[in-house]
Amino acid sequence: MYKNSLPPIFVTYQIYKSMKRIYLLIILLIVVLTSLTAQENQSKNKIMEKNKSTLRLIYPQWQGGIVSHLLPELKPDDASRGYYLGAQLLNFLAPYNGQKTREVPVSLDINDRATENGINSYRAILKQTKDALDILNENDPERIVVLGGDCAVSVVPFTYLAAKYPDDVAIVWIDAHLDINLPGDNYEGYHAMALTACMGIGDKDIMNMLPAKVDASKSLIVGIREWDEGMKERQQELGIKGVISSEVAKDSSSVMQWLKSTGASKVFIHFDMDVLDPADLIAAVGVVPDGMKIDEVIRVINDISAEYDIVGLTVAEPMPRIAIKIRNMLNELPLLKD
């Protein structure tokens, strides 16, 4: 009777085995997908928690720079306040990922620029330093992204975080300049005193306001290519390490080796846009050649992020020449200026 076909019971058993395999595969697939979804949700939750603990600080301080003579293509008042517009543009262009955002109130009074204690615009800078500290104390962030503003916008956030993570931080200062001037030097712009201020060296009243300081031995300057008079000697006196642009052109090993030597697990990164090679992008006041390429800066920062906890990140000194000219043009058009 079953000469040319399989017995029904055998066929039924084979179907059962096949269906069982299919069911097992479906169950396995559900388990795998559930596990992957749980991992993805956990990862998303971690990112959300990180974003919740990160403050995006808009800090459009411009008074730290004395730069109008370096920008003859702009009206002096526009050039002086250029960093203010630059900070607003950075905030507009930077991706938004749910971070809490606060802005430091900054005066636009061009006449409030009196020099006191060897610092230009001293009173405005003193007030804005206090206002920035009040914002940080009120919000108590674990990480801070700063969109500036002149280079001195790093001083309050970095010293605030240094107090939060004592003896476990290092500064990587990516800049064409050292920023280690002091009150009493020929140049009175506070932005050139930013790194020394982070080290607790500078005007007594400002230093007394700052929550902490970072030792010079835990500060590295990357991309230096322009030294003011006497600054090489001061760098040696303070014991601050430096890396020129060519040393990070191919890889980030010099920076990573230095970071390892500090023993720190957390890093503050200051990125002054004047470090960029003007052949790649003219984004700041300075146009000294042979700077770092955009890709090189991004690579250095991301290499640090891969091995260390970046708790502070500043992008500073954008000078939006074209945007200023466009704004001034729009201000002269009918129906817009009325």
**Same structural domain, 39 and 64:** no
Residue range 193-219: average pLDDT?
Answer: 98
**Same structural domain, 223 and 98:** yes
User: To 5 degrees, how large is the angle CA 175–CA 180–CA 185?
Assistant: 130
327: left (phi over 0), alpha (psi -120 to 50) or beta: alpha
d(CA 192, CA 224) in angstroms, rounded, equals: 13
**Same structural domain, 214 and 157:** yes
**Same structural domain, 2 and 102:** no
Structure tokens belonging to residue 201 = 């060296």
Residue range 195-223: average pLDDT?
Answer: 98
**Cβ contacts of 171 within 8 Å, gap of 6 or more:** 158, 195, 198, 214, 218, 219, 220, 267, 268, 269, 270
pLDDT given at position 26? 79
Three-state secondary structure of the chain? CCCCCCCHHHHHHHHHHHHHHHHHHHHHHHHHHHHHHHHHHHHHHHHHHHHHCEEEEEECCCCCCCCHHHCCCCCHHHHHCHHHHHHHHHHHHCCCCCCEEEECCCCCCCCCCCCECCECCHHHHHHHHHHHHHHHHHHCCCEEEEEECCHHHHHHHHHHHHHHCCCCEEEEEECCCCCCCCCCCCCCCHHHHHHHHHCCCCCHHHHHHCCCCCCHHHEEEEEECCCCCCHHHHHHHHCCEEEEHHHHCCCCHHHHHHHHHHCCCEEEEEEEHHHECCCCCCCCCCCCCCCECHHHHHHHHHHHHHHCEEEEEEEECCCCHHHHHHHHHHCCCCCCCC
Length of the chain: 338
Q: On the CB side of 184, how many CA atoms lie within 13 Å of its CA?
A: 6
**Same structural domain, 39 and 75:** no
Residue range 134-150: average pLDDT?
Answer: 98
What is the percent of the chain with per-residue pLDDT over 70, rounded to a whole number? 87
Structure tokens belonging to residue 332 = 């002269």
Q: pLDDT tens digit string along 86-140?
A: 999 999 999 998 999 999 999 999 999 999 999 999 999 999 999 999 999 999 9
* Residue 53 within a domain: no
**Same structural domain, 203 and 262:** yes
**Same structural domain, 172 and 228:** yes
**Same structural domain, 127 and 271:** yes
Average pLDDT, the chain: 91
* Residue 54 within a domain: no
* Residue 338 within a domain: no
**Same structural domain, 263 and 189:** yes
* Residue 49 within a domain: no
pLDDT given at position 27? 78
**Same structural domain, 67 and 166:** yes
pLDDT given at position 45? 45
pTM: 0.85
Specify the higher pLDDT residue, 171 or 33: 171
* Residue 52 within a domain: no
**Same structural domain, 196 and 231:** yes
Q: Say which CATH number the domain at 67 has.
A: 3.40.800.10
Confidence of residue 37 (pLDDT cuts 50, 70, 90): low
**Same structural domain, 31 and 143:** no
Structure tokens belonging to residue 196 = 């020394």
d(CA 248, CA 292) in angstroms, rounded, equals: 8
CB atoms within 10 A of CB 42: 10
* Residue 220 within a domain: yes
Q: Which domain holds residue 10?
A: 1-43
* Residue 97 within a domain: yes
d(CA 219, CA 303) in angstroms, rounded, equals: 17
Name the domain count of the chain. Answer: 2
* Residue 35 within a domain: yes
Q: pLDDT tens digit string along 43-101?
A: 444 444 555 699 999 999 999 999 999 999 999 999 999 999 999 999 999 999 899 99
